Amino acid sequence: MTYYIGKVSAVKGQRAQVIVERAVDAGTHVPRVLDCWNVCEAKMGARVRVERQTLDEKKGRWIVKGIPLLTLLAGAAFGRAVAPYFPIPHWQTVVASMIIWLLLGWNYARTFRRDVSHRGAQWSITGYYTEGALPEEGKP
């Protein structure tokens, strides 16, 4: 499997820009800079491992539709849990919480759809890299 070792040069939200230092089992073309999904929340200057991850289109659609639904349910549970602490009626607290959580979930699903569903595959930072940590390179 092809992956790259590089250094994070910029971080913006859940995206990161990685300057590729070297490739492992790559063909002739090695990109200089990759725009990646920052799965492990790597900080700027960290050495990381970057892999291409694919997602089935059907599974991507289920995830995009499921995130808002699950956040709506989480908002209802959260609103019900905090409702006794507010002087307004319980149903208003639950509805307000559901709306806020739904908006957060919808925003996350929109970002997920843009990053994964349309492309089908994307570069992802899968972990930090330390010298000698990868057995497939033949190092102890």
> Do 107 and 125 belong to one domain?
no
> Do 125 and 104 belong to one domain?
no
> Do 51 and 64 belong to one domain?
no
pLDDT for res 116: 65
> Do 50 and 64 belong to one domain?
no
pLDDT for res 101: 96
Q: Contact at 8 Å (CB) between 4 and 23?
A: yes
> Do 20 and 50 belong to one domain?
yes
Q: Which amino acid is at 41?
A: E
pLDDT for res 59: 78
CATH of the domain at 27: 2.40.50
> Do 112 and 61 belong to one domain?
yes
- Cα gap 39→19, rounded to integer Å: 17
Chain mean position to CA 36? 9
Tell me the residue range of the domain where 31 lies. 3-55+120-137
> Do 32 and 72 belong to one domain?
no
> Do 50 and 34 belong to one domain?
yes
- Cα gap 80→78, rounded to integer Å: 5
pLDDT for res 125: 84
Q: How many domains does the chain have?
A: 2
pLDDT, mean of each 10-residue run, the chain (140 residues)? 84 86 72 82 87 77 89 96 94 96 91 66 80 50
pLDDT for res 133: 53
Query: pTM (2 decimals)?
Result: 0.57
